[in-house]
Amino acid sequence: MSVLVYNQNWDGKFKKASYEILSYAREVADHMGTEVTALSIGNVEEDELKKLAIYGADKILSADDERLAGLENQAFSSIIAQAAEQENASVVIFANDFTGKAIAPRVSIKLKAGLVPGVVDVPSSYDPLKVKKKAFSGKAYAHVEVKTPVRIIALEGNSFGVSENRKEGVVETFHPELRDEDFRTKVTDVNKVTDKILLTDADIVVSGGRGMKGPENWQPLEELANLLGGATACSRPVSDEGWRPDEEHVGQTGKIIAPDLYIALGISGAIQHLAGVSGSKVIVAVNKDEEAPIFQAADYGVVGDLKEVMPNLISAIKEFKKE
């Protein structure tokens, strides 16, 4: 028996999200009295692999193959399923991110294992396994029971946190069997922004709505995000109008995010928008309309003109940073 974690790497490095699911797996394994095996796919140096031990991996499997540089859903899910079988895993854990969404369902079919995506807490019971997940796009939670011998959990980002729990972390090479059919997609071009903090990774997100009045007014918002080390986002009307790229849209049909701090500037707070940010630990809203529904969801609010409040915020943060 074991708990298997798929740890994605980004250009050979792990991130906070990888450590979070490991920390979570450790807690689950301790409850079940079993071990944690971390699985890495692609080229990662041993030093980096060893970092997984800090967060609770008893064993680290590394499947490296030159064909595994880009995400190939069929190959990756096949490797994970084979590792789960080898490790006799009773729980498999993914991050509920782009990759997790693309491969966890395939693994679920391969292993005939019930999958619960969007999990926000540790299981409330283990036999049968019962977990809490987001439902209705953040407007509610559901408790889901998994009846199968192997269970798959895809954990929502920033819902558990990272905790250290050093284990031995023996690194082993893993040699899966792969078919030609597992490699039918080909990445022809990659276009990555490397100098910016990712919206889905960010601890702090500064977001603008229609109240920003136009794309030309985004400079102070970006400055604010930079000062706070955060990412920028926007509401649906803003991306629909083309003021900002689609990737920045947070809300029910855009990205669902759960940063520590979400700052909503000129966002009225439509129910669909709130659904996308309700997982945020703290919400700050600035809006000129004191009746805006965003204030019902916010922890801190300023009723005022963005033209004045944004520069004031910027200088307040600069001052704060000096102290």
Partner 1 sequence: MNILVCISNVPDTTTKVRFKDNNTAFDDTGVQWIINPWDELALTRALELKEKSNGAIESITVANVGPKVTEQTIRKALAVGADKAIRVDAEPKDASYVATQLAEVVKNGSYDIIMNGIESSDYNGSSVGSMLAELLDYPSVSSVTSLDIENDEVKLVREIAGGKESVETELPFVAVVQKGIATDPRIPAMRGIMMARKKPMEVLQPVDAEPLTDFVEFEMPEPKGECRMVEPGNEKELIELLHNEAKVI
Is 165 or 304 the residue whose CB approaches partner 1 more closely? 304
Candidate ranges 27-35, 60-68, 86-94, 310-318; the one touching partner 1 (CB under 8 A): 310-318
3-class DSSP assignment, residue 238: helix
Q: Does the protein bind partner 1 through residue 297 (CB under 8 A)?
A: yes
- C-alpha span between 265 and 272 (Å, rounded): 16
Report the site for partner 1 in 236-295 (rule: CB under 8 A): 240, 246-247, 249, 252-254, 260-261, 271-272, 275, 278, 281-282, 284-285, 295
How far is residue 67 from each of residues 42, 72, 100, 168, 178, measured CA to CA in Å? 8, 9, 19, 29, 10
Please tell me whether residue 210 binds partner 1 under the rule CB under 8 A: no
Answer whether the bond into residue 128 is a cis peptide, omega within 30°: yes
Give the shortest CB-138-to-partner 1 separation in angstroms: 8
- By CB under 8 A, name the one of 13, 135, 161, 170 that touches partner 1: 135
Indicate the helix (H) or strand (E) that contains 74: helix 73-86
* Residues binding partner 1: number (CB under 8 A): 99
Applying CB under 8 A, among 32, 122, 162, 317 the residue interacting with partner 1 is 317
**Positions 29 through 88 that interact with partner 1 (CB under 8 A):** 70-71, 73-74, 77
Residue 135 CA from chain centroid, whole number: 16
88 DSSP 8-state letter: T
Min dist CB 173 to partner 1, Å, is 26
Residues numbered 154 to 193 that lie near partner 1 (CB under 8 A) are 181, 184-193
- In the complex, what is the shortest distance from the CB of residue 54 to partner 1, in angstroms, rounded to a whole number? 22
Among 43, 86, 130, 226, binds partner 1 (CB under 8 A): 130
Give me the least distance between CB of 59 and partner 1, in Å please.
26
Burial 176-193 (b: 16+ CB within 10 A, else e): bebeeebeeeeeeeeeee
* CB 44, CB 64: distance < 8 Å: yes
Of 37-45, 49-57, 133-141, 205-213, the segment contacting partner 1 by CB under 8 A is 133-141
Instruction: In angstroms, give the least distance from the CB of 303 to partner 1.
Output: 7
Do the Cβ atoms of 103 and 81 come closer than 8 Å?
no
- The residue from 46, 140, 180, 219 that contacts partner 1 (CB under 8 A) is 140
Distance (Å, whole) CA 300 – CA 234:
19
1 binds partner 1 (CB under 8 A): no
CA–CA dist 79, 2 (Å, integer):
16
Considering only residues 106, 121, 122, 163, which one is a binding residue for partner 1 as defined by CB under 8 A? 106
Instruction: Supply the minimum distance, in Å, between the C-beta of residue 72 and partner 1.
Output: 9
| 89 in contact with partner 1 (CB under 8 A) | no
Rounded to a whole number of angstroms, the minimum distance from the CB of residue 33 to partner 1 is: 24
The residues that bridge with 170 in the sheet, in sequence order, are 59
Select 165 or 217, whichever has its Cβ closest to partner 1: 217
Compute the distance between CA of residue 303 and CA of residue 166 in angstroms, rounded to an integer: 47
Q: Which residues pair with 38 in a beta bridge?
A: 5, 60
Backbone Cα Rg of the chain: 21
Short-list 39, 59, 141, 30, CA closest to 100: 39
